[in-house]
């Protein structure tokens, strides 16, 4: 149970970072797609930018809170497992609690004496004080989640602020979104172990579908 014995967990793994970037990109595209190439003026662009930024700030905060809830739930689950092993009335029940906490593939490879060794080692460990409390690392992770969602607004929105015409700005913004989706998809693929190129192209295809839909609807 590494989390009970150390604080070696990374603030965010590559898959978590990529997932938040994907979310922020798609959320921003829903705002940039509301602009009409023919009719949008500078006031509309300004309102779009403020709306996209405000929405991503709100969702970034929500995602950060959900991240903290997940950290608390994970740590509480570890503590429940620890207590189930420690307080098991019989060794068989303690070994069953250890097996339940392990990934099925790992559990299937262990012998009964190895389960017993793990049970005894866990039973000998004193219960960690304040283990179910949120740590500094958890709060930094929540902040990172929020900032990732918010910062993805700017690369997609900047073309509208820098270019005079909405049409070219939208095409540049969509191209940036596709590139970000492709790269984030490739990074995300490393977490579940999928083929990076295929996942990256899949995410970029999703962005392309969104862009075509918004253009067809008058974007």
What value does the mean pLDDT take over residues 98-114?
A: 84
Give the model confidence (pLDDT) of 123-145 as tens digits.
Answer: 888 877 666 678 888 899 899 99
Compare 49 and 177 and report the one with higher pLDDT.
177
Q: In terms of C-beta density within 10 A (0-12 exposed, 13-18 middle, 19 or more buried), how is residue 47 classed?
A: middle
Residue 218, pLDDT > 70, answer no
Q: Give pLDDT, residue 65.
A: 92
Q: How high does pLDDT run on average in the chain?
A: 78
Residue 27, pLDDT > 60, answer yes
Q: Which of 16-25, 106-115, 119-128, 205-214 has the lowest mean pLDDT?
A: 205-214
Q: Give pLDDT, residue 8.
A: 45
Give the model confidence (pLDDT) of 165-207 as tens digits.
Answer: 777 887 888 888 888 888 888 887 776 667 888 888 887 887 7
Residue 176 CB coordination number (10 Å): 17
Residue 4, pLDDT > 50, answer no
Q: CA distances (Å), 18 to each of 45, 144, 154, 185, 207, in order?
A: 27, 12, 16, 7, 15
**pTM of the full predicted structure?**
0.70
Q: Give pLDDT, residue 38.
A: 45
Q: Give pLDDT, residue 43.
A: 63
Which tokens belong to 70? 């997940």
Q: Which of 3-12, 54-63, 187-196, 199-208 has the highest mean pLDDT?
A: 54-63
φ, ψ for residue 192 (rounded to 5)?
-85, -5
Compare 213 and 197 and report the one with higher pLDDT.
197
Distance in angstroms (rounded) separating the CA atoms of residues 39 and 166: 9
CA angle, residues 123, 111, 125, in degrees to nearest 5: 15
Residue 89 DSSP label: S
What value does the mean pLDDT take over residues 154-170?
A: 81
Distance in angstroms (rounded) separating the CA atoms of residues 206 and 129: 46
Residue 216, pLDDT > 50, answer yes
DSSP codes joined into one string, 119-145? HHHHHHSPPPTTTTSPPHHHHHHHHHH
């Amino acid at each position: 149970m590494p989390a009970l014995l150390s604080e070696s967990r990374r603030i965010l793994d590559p898959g978590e970072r990529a997932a938040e970037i994907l979310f922020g990109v798609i959320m921003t595209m829903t705002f940039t797609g509301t602009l009409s190439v023919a009719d949008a003026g500078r006031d509309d662009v300004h309102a779009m930018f403020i709306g996209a930024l405000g929405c991503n700030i709100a969702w970034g905060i929500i995602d950060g809170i959900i991240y903290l809830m997940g950290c608390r739930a994970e740590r509480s689950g570890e503590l429940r497992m620890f207590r189930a092993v420690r307080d098991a009335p019989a060794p068989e029940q303690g070994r069953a609690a250890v097996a339940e906490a392990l990934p099925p593939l790992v559990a299937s490879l262990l012998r009964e004496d190895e389960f017993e060794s793990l049970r005894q080692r866990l039973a000998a460990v004193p219960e960690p004080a304040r283990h179910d409390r949120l740590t500094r690392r958890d709060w930094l992770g929540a902040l990172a989640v929020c900032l990732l969602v918010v910062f993805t607004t700017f690369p997609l929105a900047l073309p509208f602020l820098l270019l005079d015409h909405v049409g070219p700005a939208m095409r540049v913004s969509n191209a940036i979104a596709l590139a970000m989706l492709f790269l984030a998809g490739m990074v995300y693929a490393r977490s579940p172990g999928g083929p990076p190129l295929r996942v990256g192209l899949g995410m970029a295809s999703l962005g392309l579908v969104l862009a075509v839909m918004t253009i067809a609807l008058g974007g």
